[in-house]
Chains A and B, each alone.
Chain A
Amino acid sequence: MKLKPWHFLASAVFLLSIVSFWFIFQEDKTNPSLGSVPFIFWSSFAITVLVVLATFLGSIIFPQEKSPKS
């Protein structure tokens, strides 16, 4: 099974989570806002969309063995 692209994607999502929780989601930060939407809301929304897109990508690149079924 070739897991390399999946490992790369999983590492990217892990890194994105670390960066988000430690550096992006700062207390009392409201700027830069997107229109009137405060920073924390639009940035966390955008990261959520990115992670869901990564899930979609993961569903394609994750190696599909002959399906194990209980």
Chain B
Amino acid sequence: MIGWLIFFFALFLASLGYASYKSYSKNRSSDEFMLAGSNIGAILGFLTFSAALFSAFTFMGMPDFFRTHGVGAWIFLGLSDALMVFFLIWFGYKLRKRASEVGYKGVAGFIQICFQNKWAGYLIFASSFLFLIPYVAIQIRGISIFLDAAFPNLIPGWGWASLLVVLMLVYSEIGGLKAIMYSDAIQGLIMLVVIWIIGYTCLQMAGGLEAGIAKITENNAGLLSLPGPKGLFSSPFLIASALAIVMIPVSQPQFTTRLVIMKDLKSVHKMAYAVGIFAILVILPTAFIGLYGAVSYSESSTAEFLSAALLYDQASPIAALAVVGLFAACLSTTNAQIFALGTELRSLLTGSDKKIMRITQIAIFVFSIIVLVFSTYMSDELVLLARVSFTGTSMIAPVVLGAVIFKNPPKSLLVLSTVALLYFILSLAELVPAGFAGLPTDAAMYLILIPATVLLMLVHHFSSKTTHEA
């Protein structure tokens, strides 16, 4: 397998090198470096959005989710992603319209201008920093666990993590966002091909769909219905997850920025349904891998199951492709998020273009080091940690939605999001009660946050109408 691994890695690294070379320009402005010239077409847009969205947690977390919690995993990610892409049709339009009026360098700077309040920008940056760092660390942690299990004693887990971060830093610092987008396109395609090959072979090894489901009915029938054998997929959990995922383009800057820098609205809309199709295609084979896991590795640990299903039970070339595919999936999400943090910081900076670009590049390096350190201290619950990140960032959604809907958005939305964000952080630290009435924290918070946001927006809408009429 090592021979195949070297072969596929060499191909992958060569394509990344080519992407960086094609994207490099000596006298580029910080806008060209950070926003890829704001001229991205539908195909590249769809591939970069998909690659940033589907990552190590899709590749590894979802098969494990299907294996341990059952069929509700489709609702958790598949249906939620479909609802998210539908929402993109409207949100993409409103966001681009507003960005064309006030200008766009990053979400934090955009919000600062829309609210005419510098703290609004800091709030967005703080939320991104607090929840994207653990999310990026999840990706790195995921790939390290897998590679460590796959190649014990070759290099330690932190060695794999460092390799990934160094690689990402090299090509993103050379080529900027354009290099990241080209590499995302390569990584997205690799991921799709690899996950289908593995999904298909796993389905065969499970004895086919009918035989596999029959075995599960015999051994653990709870996997075939809601809420799953461990009771995770309750209605409040699934609804709260769907809301958090639908809000991803609103509250996670790497996606918001991708919507703004696309060539035109038509490209955004084409990209939206293409991402929906991609989501179905990527998540479906993870169900087959999970089915195989439930049949053959029901009692194994996550690491044992994944290393067996993705590596040891596969033919050498497929196992080698799986390693490269996983590495690619992890890399694309990681670089999108770290680069987004750089973009957010840049949008808050003032000064000469050269100085801003230097500070941003240094910041991207510092964020990478923080992520690397953080990844060595976190737990292995990849999907659930990812969900905490989605929920955390969604607390600032009222602010972003207010900014795109209203010309003069109400400041009360800033207070609402700040309180929600603080409460969510305190509940994670177990300093305040988490949830109420039997609801998990996020579902309980949405129960307050959504009506409160709607109410504040309606009051603002009618009060500004009255003022204009007067």
Interface residues of A (CB under 8 A from B): 6, 10, 13, 17, 20-22, 25-30, 35-41, 44-45, 47-49, 51-52, 54-56, 58-59, 62, 64-65, 67-70
Contact = CB atoms under 8 A, between A and B. Distances in A.
A10 to B, nearest CB: 7
Contacts of A6: 89-90
Q: Give the most central of B89, B104, B221: most A CB within 10 Å.
A: B89
A27 to B, nearest CB: 5
B99 A68 contact: yes
Dominant SS among interface residues on chain B:
helix
B224 A38 contact: yes
B261 A70 contact: yes
A70 B82 contact: no
Nearest to A50: B82
Interface of B: 38, 71-72, 74-75, 78-79, 81-83, 85-86, 88-90, 93, 96-97, 99-101, 103-104, 209-210, 213-214, 221, 224-227, 234-235, 238-239, 242, 260-261, 263-266, 269-270, 272-273, 276-277, 279-280, 287
Given A37-B213, A40-B225, A25 B235 contact: yes
Contacts of B234: 27
A6 B136 CA distance: 36
Given A38-B71, A55-B276, A62 B224 contact: no
A28 B81 CA distance: 24
A58 to B, nearest CB: 4
A64 B89 contact: no
Q: Give the most central of B72, B99, B273, B277: most A CB within 10 Å.
A: B273
B79 A55 contact: no
Given A13-B86, A52-B273, A55-B89, 17 more contacts: A25-B238, A28-B225, A36-B210, A40-B225, A47-B79, A48-B78, A49-B280, A51-B86, A52-B277, A52-B279, A52-B280, A55-B85, A55-B273, A58-B273, A64-B266, A68-B99, A70-B38
